[in-house]
Amino acid sequence: MITSTHKEGQCPGLRPLSALRGVRPRRSGWVPIVVGGGAALVGASGAMLCAFLISGVTSGPVDWWALVTSGVWSPQQSLFGVLPMIWGTAVVSLLALAVAVPIGWAAALGLHELTPARHRRTLRMAVEMLAAVPSIVYGLLGVVLLRGLMSRLFGVTGGDSLLAAALVLSVMVLPTVVSVSVDALADVPDSVRETGAALGLSRVEVIGSAVFPQARGGMLAGAVLGLARALGETVAVFLVIGRADGPLASTVNGLLRSILQPGQTLTTKLGGPEPLLAGTSGTHWATLCALGAVLMCVIAGLTLLAQSRRLDRRGGRTRFPPRARRHRGARDRLGVASLRTALALPILLAVGIAVVVLERGTPALDPGFWATPAAGASGGGVRDQIIGTLLLVATAGVMAAAAGLTLALLIGEYATPRVAGWMRTATLTLGGIPSIVLGLAGFWFFGSALGWGKSWLAGTFLLGLVATPIVALAVTAQIGRLPRERLETARALGLRRSQVVRSVLLPYTRPALVTGLLLGLARAAGETAPLLFAATVFSGAGGMPAGVVDAPVVSLPTHVFNLAQDAADPAAIRAAWGAATVLIIIIALLLIVSMPIRRRLEKERV
């Protein structure tokens, strides 16, 4: 009605474009170059790890058959059987997932589907705070709080048990599951919810039948990332699992009972003292490297299983179609209530942990503690440690963002489906490798092969390697959810592949990139093992390194680790909690600062 007059008045029709047409702009040619560079970096890291393990395994005779069939591990008697460790690994990580995945999924659903948009971000941040707590603190909390509970509830003497380790791990895995799942849910278009609800489905029915099937792929990715996290964790498991070797029980009953007894996982075996006692050649060392190889195989196997089409069907038929039930209203209210409860759980945990940590970490409340350098064994503050940690985390963040993104683009866009499948498995395996192995490999590579001393750069590299798979997998999962029509429309408008990547794929994956980076860096910031071996010292170095390849730094997580290990006097323990609290506060600040950025990124995703 009004438009036509307007058209005549101001816009005299569309002129031919010939006047404007020139060379095509913005080839986005840097995209393939960057992807290539990232691929090279990731490939080099993989090669380093493999070279380390292969050179280790071949440095002495390994009896592979006995390794995977025998139940007795005793280096003194040259008996090397890893069955009990494999059992421990399986029990601990699967139990952890069995607890964390249902709760995490339910919490994610409660968070994204039942919470008004304006509260979502705050609640999500509260859950992600759980990721900010460094492993050593989880371990100490487990020692202090969980063991007593275990011994009272199950009559486990001491409370050290596979079950305790699984519970600690499940809390550590929870934020990963929740965060990645929330991203997946955010990608389900609102029209799906609307259509479901318009057909008379109740809230839980909409969630269960309309939303969940579409988010399932991404939520599974969250679970798989959680699995990698569980498999790779060392320090926290260390402190509550008991770490006693023992022959494998032969009866079902015995196996079940072993869950309530101390045990050992592949990771704790590798992270324990043995690698240092074994030297760097001979049967013992070779067998330990073989253990690393076995662990990688276990992870790869679990990954393949989790990726199998059976679990991750993106379309197709629902196998057990739901049936109409009686009392749909009551069921709906019950379902909503339980989802909300599941959401409350991680948030209460986060609050509880914050209270416990703050209570013990009183030194952290003193500004002087933040601003003065450490003195002697346990005096002074943690100024240099803060600077060192920030340096390491920032540089590792840059590396993980670049490498993770390129890896994700390779998997999600450039590789053929078959290659992509293998690359995804490799990435997950990298993510599940215990950081201790990364530390040893880094120590071997930078220290022995390159002849560097301890160096912050090596630390950056190794921490980056810890965070890279998390970023890569979060982003890959999101690329997989990109609506096909969007790609088609972009292509129909004449965009080149690199331009499609630059303008459709990259913007779409930004939320996952941020989530992956936050989760990855939160984990990297709490990581001790790679730093202890390759990058930090207890004292005598500043926060800012004095050089590049031969300049160690000090860092908060390793500081906490050292203080908590053997400190004789109460001052050291106080300092340890103080430093841990500082670390948690820093990561919390990081999360809070990232909130507005995320808000912007997520608003753009519709």
Residues 470-499 that bind another protein (CB under 8 A): 483-486, 488-497, 499
Distance of CA 80 to the CA centre of its chain: 31
Nearer to another protein, 202 or 389 (CB): 202
**Is residue 535 within 8 Å of 462, Cβ to Cβ?**
yes
Least CB distance to another protein at residue 157 (A): 5
Q: Is 596 in the site for another protein (CB under 8 A)?
A: no
Nearer to another protein, 72 or 304 (CB): 72
191 counts as binding another protein under rule CB under 8 A: yes
Asked whether the CA dihedral 293, 299, 303, 305 is positive or negative, the reply is positive
Burial of 220 (0-12, 13-18, 19+ CB in 10 A): buried
User: What are the CA-CA distances from residue 316 to residues 184, 213, 220, 279, 309 (Å)?
Assistant: 19, 10, 17, 54, 11
- Cα–chain-centroid distance for residue 551? 28
Shortest distance in whole angstroms from residue 413 CB to another protein: 12
Look at residue 380 and give its three-state secondary structure: strand
Q: Is 505 in the site for another protein (CB under 8 A)?
A: no
Rule CB under 8 A: say whether 279 interacts with another protein.
Answer: yes
Q: What does residue 74 show for φ and ψ, rounded to 5 degrees?
A: -155, 95
**CB 46, min distance to another protein, A:** 25
Out of 251, 309, 320, 323, the only residue in the binding site for another protein (CB under 8 A) is 323
Q: Output 144 or 595, the one with its CB closest to another protein.
A: 144
206-235 binders of another protein (CB under 8 A): 209-210, 213-214
Q: Is 242 in the site for another protein (CB under 8 A)?
A: yes
As measured in angstroms, the least distance from the Cβ of 300 to another protein is 27
Is 2 near another protein (CB under 8 A)? yes
The minimum distance between CB 449 and another protein, in angstroms, equals 13
Nearer to another protein, 44 or 198 (CB): 198
Cα Rg of the chain (Å, integer): 26
Return the residues of window 402-431 that contact another protein according to CB under 8 A. none
How would you write 269-326 as a 3-class SS string?
HHHCCHHHHCCCCHHHHHHHHHHHHHHHHHHHHHHHHHHCCCCCCCCCCCCCCCCCCC
How many residues make contact with another protein (CB under 8 A)? 140
Residue positions counted in the chain: 606
Q: Is 475 helix (H, G, I), strand (E, B) or coil?
A: helix
CB 298 within 8 A of CB 265: no
**Per-residue three-class SS string for 424-467:** HHHHHHHHHCCHHHHHHHHHHHHHHHCCCCCCHHHHHHHHHHHH
**Nearer to another protein among residue 50 and residue 277 (C-beta):** 277
Classify strands 73-74 and 79-80 as parallel, antiparallel or unpaired: antiparallel
Query: Closest distance between another protein and the C-beta of residue 10, in Å?
Result: 7
Contact by Cβ (8 Å): 127, 198? no
Q: How far is the CB of 426 from another protein (least distance, A)?
A: 24
Among 153, 244, 255, 398, binds another protein (CB under 8 A): 244
Question: Which position among 38, 56, 159, 557 is part of the footprint of another protein (CB under 8 A)?
Answer: 159
Answer yes or no whether residue 309 interacts with another protein by CB under 8 A: no
Of 182, 190, 196, the closest CA to residue 109 belongs to 182
DSSP H helical ranges for 481-505: 484-492, 497-500
Whole-number Å distance between alpha carbons of 200 and 198: 5
Of 153-161, 304-312, 353-361, 588-596, the segment contacting another protein by CB under 8 A is 153-161
Which lies closer to another protein via its Cβ, residue 183 or residue 431? 183
Rounded distance, CA 133 to CA 157, Å? 27
How many CA atoms within 13 Å lie on the side-chain side of 300? 12
Nearer CB in complex with another protein: 79/297: 79
CA distance 392 to 78: 40
- Residue with Cβ nearer another protein (329 or 367): 329
Pick from 276, 223, 245, 241: nearest CA to 102: 223
Q: Which of 65, 77, 309, 320 binds another protein (CB under 8 A)?
A: 77
Of the candidates 250, 252, 253, 376, which one interacts with another protein according to CB under 8 A? 376
- Which of the residues 19 through 58 are near another protein (CB under 8 A)? 20-26
- Span of 58-66, 127-135, 460-468, 537-545 interacting with another protein by CB under 8 A: 537-545
* 504 near another protein, judged by CB under 8 A: yes
Q: Applying CB under 8 A, does 321 fall inside the site for another protein?
A: yes
Choices 173-181, 302-310, 529-537, 581-589 (CB under 8 A): range interacting with another protein: 529-537
Residue for token digits 């416990």?
356
> What is the distance between the alpha carbons of residues 577 and 284, in angstroms, rounded to a whole number?
36
- 176 versus 555: smaller Cβ distance to another protein: 555
4 binds another protein (CB under 8 A): yes
**Residue 67 interacts with another protein (CB under 8 A): yes or no:** no
Q: Can you tell me whether residue 553 is helix, strand or coil?
A: strand
Maximum C-alpha span of the chain: 96
Among 29, 43, 453, 596, binds another protein (CB under 8 A): 453
User: What is the Cα–Cα distance from 252 to 13, expressed in whole angstroms?
Assistant: 81
Rule CB under 8 A: is residue 138 a binding residue for another protein?
A: no
Residue 574 lies near another protein (rule: CB under 8 A): no
Among 11, 252, 309, 418, contact with another protein (rule: CB under 8 A): 11
Q: Is residue 252 part of the contact set for another protein (CB under 8 A)?
A: no
Q: Does 547 sit near another protein (CB under 8 A)? A: yes
Binding residues among 330-359 for another protein as defined by CB under 8 A: 332-333
Q: Nearer Cβ to another protein, position 212 or 299?
A: 212
593 belongs to the binding site for another protein (CB under 8 A): no
Q: How far is the CB of 277 from another protein (least distance, A)?
A: 5
* Cα–Cα separations (whole angstroms), residue 110 to 102, 104, 339, 470: 12, 10, 5, 24
Binder of another protein out of 297, 344, 546, 548 (CB under 8 A): 546
